[in-house]
Chain A
Amino acid sequence: MAKMSLEDLRKMREATQQQIKKRETDGKTAQIIVGMGTCGIAAGAKATLDAFVKELDEKGMGGEVVIRQTGCMGLCNNEPTVEVVVPGMPSIIYGGVNAAVAKGIVEKHLMKKELLNDRIIDRPAVDLLKK
């Protein structure tokens, strides 16, 4: 690497910022939680997870959203299942989330705050631990 000018430094900072922001946990506003039980993985949850990462990177939102994994949500017939938590909105579980739906979730739910109505699934049961 040759010596940098002011311009070069700024460019490098911008280019590297996206990746490093993903390592932070503070200041993130939304969470995407992908069900990665055996059922989810068999139904393609890994591809779904990759799709979210790719989509958020492309939209430059890598620093704002936490992508997390969890076990089976108990909705095995609707795998891959994904829960989306956005402040100010009820937390929503989506079923049958393939790469295309993942793209839709990022573009509509996260960016426009609109729900993807045809994919919403109810919680299977109330959370006993919270009662």
Chain B
Amino acid sequence: MAYTHYILVCGGTGCESSNADGIYNNLLAEAKAAGVTDKVQIVKTGCFGFCEKGPIVKVLPEDSFYVEVKPEDAKEIINEQIVKGREVTRLLYNKEKRSIEDVEEIEFYQKQLRIVLRNCGVINPESIEEYIARDGYLALERSLYELTPQQIIDEVKASGLRGRGGAGFPTGMKWEAGLKAQGDVKYVVCNADEGDPGAYMDRSTIEGDPHSVIEAMTICGKAIGAHLGFVYIRAEYPLAVDRLKIAMNQAREYGLLGKNILGSGFDFDIEIRLGAGAFVCGEETALLRSIEGKRGMPTPKPPFPAQSGLWGKPTIINNVETWANIPVILTKGPEWFTKIGTADSKGTKVFALTGKVKNSGLVEVPMGTTLREIVFEIGGGIKNGKKFKGVQTGGPSGGIITEEALDTPIDFGALTRLGSMMGSGGMIVMDEDDCVVDVSKFYMEFCVDESCGKCSPCRIGTRQIHAILDKISKGKGTMDDLEKMKEIGFAMQKSSLCALGQSAPNPTLSTIKKFEKEYIEHIVDHKCAAGKCKHLLQFIINDKCIGCGACARKCPATCISGEKKSKHVIDQTKCLKCGECFNTCKFGAIDKK
């Protein structure tokens, strides 16, 4: 008996942490109890991307998109929908728009085009059969039997694919260098050391579709003549590591990895290397040192890894998202791929949209989509009706993009011209309550912690800029400090050894450029308009105070005093500026200045 229904439960880390496992197990138990196990297939799948509303459960063929599902809802889903055929309306995302005429669209997905995430939320990532059913290993088939190594590389080159790790180097050219490099031993490496705060594209891709990375690495092995690959992945991504291991074992069992792949005589295998979570190990040369068992520190380029990488052998290293594009390009052809995107950048880009935006989640859009479309249409705009301030792209290596650039079509070139960078795809939205000094300080603190210390511009520069930012946030900055930061930043950009140091000053420099006024406000007026720099804040009780004493009871520093039913006073010398009184007062009697 064929299944009439499919229930897809999100099994990404985000949804699992809000008990998607419980939902999955309850669904299985309820289906058994209702005697419908032969009618409904319950699948745990990869991330749907709509993490804001997780856990997500999707029921097909009705295409019911259920959000914020709880384990106890399982009974209703099975009994109502599977047994009786009625959707559980209260769990639907779009309750009112539901109509039988059209399978309605959710705004979040309307502008998206999913190439990298093509299988995420569709297949069970722990089932190789389901990956194969979606044209999986078709590209490998072609690469082994129809194409020569040069032809594979020509197709990748013709597709115009650029590295998705951040720098955007043309992938085909990199592979060609790998092919031409002399040596009997070569390596293929997957960079899954995703470290930007707020970014989780690569984790979700591996969690939702691990075979796409395995297939792509094998194809590259064939193209350059390598027989061993490494996936360098963070140890703090346990689910991704597990799924990757399962997928590798399945592929080996089926003869798609290992000796004599598909009877073609070509051997290729992959090993996993766990990273300990150092940001610098996302830099390719540092990553390779770490695989070798050495301390993760970058080395000067050239020589590039394609000439001299792992243990001095030619090594092709690409980011997870780059790898995930490869099987599609070789299946659908480079012409198809070049039709998507802009002249400068082809294909799509996955962004992890987070911050003060309504629909945070994983978003894949064609290159050339504007920030306005991503933030305001897909993202649904700013939370709580606040005003948009800017978007930080590229994490601690990128810069802030403001209102006037919202309509610029995004691609590698455009973001660089705006003083930011594509980065790996973190996108943090800020509103009027965010202070640029505070944000810059946060990113610089991150870089201080993560600088490996090998070269002085980065080791000392990050610390110095952080110290200045700290001074400014406490109202002790001077106008000279702005110039000093620009100078140090410039020196770091020009003389740091690797991209970490070269890009570390970007958030600070771009905010000084776009929001100089705000810095000056902090320095000259000792004011933080957003109210984030607490050293510059003052809480003052005004005449609206009725003397209820609620604030005094909450104050952790017991610095609020006054008679009952008369105006209270805050002792400014003892005040910790925690804001408890401000949040407690129901009468608007406390001013935050």
Contacts and interface: CB of A to CB of B under 8 A. Distances in A.
Interface of A: 1-6, 9-10, 12-13, 16-17, 19-25, 31, 33-34, 36, 41, 45-46, 49-50, 53-54, 57, 66-71, 83, 85, 91, 129
Interface stretch (B133-141, B162-170, B294-302, B460-468): B133-141
B292 interface: no
A123 B3 CA distance: 31
Contacts of A25: 60, 63, 103
A125 to B, nearest CB: 15
B134 A20 contact: yes
Given A13-B135, A23-B60, A67-B61, 11 more contacts: A3-B253, A6-B263, A9-B141, A10-B141, A13-B137, A13-B138, A16-B130, A20-B122, A41-B84, A54-B2, A67-B4
Contacts of A53: 2-4
A69 B133 contact: no
A17 to B, nearest CB: 5
Closest 4 CB pairs between A and B?
A: A3-B255, A36-B85, A16-B133, A20-B133
Nearest to A32: B61
30 contacts: A3-B254, A4-B254, A5-B263, A6-B144, A6-B264, A9-B132, A9-B141, A13-B132, A13-B133, A13-B135, A16-B130, A16-B133, A19-B2, A20-B122, A20-B134, A22-B6, A24-B122, A25-B60, A31-B103, A41-B84, A45-B85, A46-B85, A50-B4, A53-B3, A68-B61, A68-B63, A69-B87, A70-B100, A83-B100, A91-B101
A49 B85 CA distance: 10
Given A23-B8, A33-B100, A66 B61 contact: yes
Interface residues of B, number: 39
Contact of B84 (A4, A10, A36, A85): A36
A1 B122 CA distance: 24
A94 B549 CA distance: 71
B94 to A, nearest CB: 14
Interface in B147-194: none
B32 interface: no
Contacts of B3: 19, 53
Contacts of B136: 13
Given A22-B6, A23-B122, A6 B145 contact: yes
Interface string B1-41: 01110101000000000000000000000000000000000
B256 interface: yes
Contacts of A45: 85
Contacts of B101: 85, 91
A12 B2 CA distance: 17
B56 to A, nearest CB: 14
B262 interface: yes
B129 interface: yes
B86 interface: yes
Interface centre among B8, B138, B262 (most CB of A within 10 A): B262
Interface centre among A3, A21, A46 (most CB of B within 10 A): A3
B216 interface: no
Given A4-B254, A16-B133, A24-B122, A66 B4 contact: no
B62 interface: yes
Contacts of A54: 2
B185 to A, nearest CB: 25
A16 B263 contact: no
A69 B141 contact: no
B116 interface: no
Contacts of A91: 101
B102 to A, nearest CB: 9
A65 to B, nearest CB: 9
A24 B122 CA distance: 7
Contacts of A31: 103
B103 A66 contact: yes
B123 interface: yes
